[in-house]
Amino acid sequence: MLRVLLAIGAVAALATGYALVPVCVPLSAEDVASFQPPIAERDDRMLFGRIFQQRSGQWYQCKTRIARAFFF
């Protein structure tokens, strides 16, 4: 019985960890230009950090896997 509970707990912990990994998607130039307030001025955050991140000149929208799957 204890092994079953530990196994269920381990699976739940792994699933939660997988669901909370951030996934970043590049934004098009049109998307970036259409943001109000401008994307560079936004400071929207989630558990892992900023939602809008700039890397090597390209803007990305980063959300957790579960947020991407169910909320956009």
Q: Say yes or no to pLDDT of 10 above 80.
A: yes
Q: What is the mean pLDDT of residues 18-42?
A: 91
Domain range for residue 35?
A: 21-71
CA dist 8 and 3 (Å) reads 9
Q: Is 37 exposed, middle or buried (0-12, 13-18, 19+ CB in 10 A)?
A: exposed
Check residue 41 and report its DSSP letter. G
**Contact between residue 24 and residue 65 where contact means Cβ atoms under 8 Å apart:** no
Q: What percent of the chain has pLDDT over 90?
A: 67
Q: What is the pLDDT of residue 72?
A: 64
Number of domains in the chain: 1
In a domain, 52, yes or no: yes
In a domain, 51, yes or no: yes
Q: How many CA atoms lie within 13 A of 68 on its CB side?
A: 14
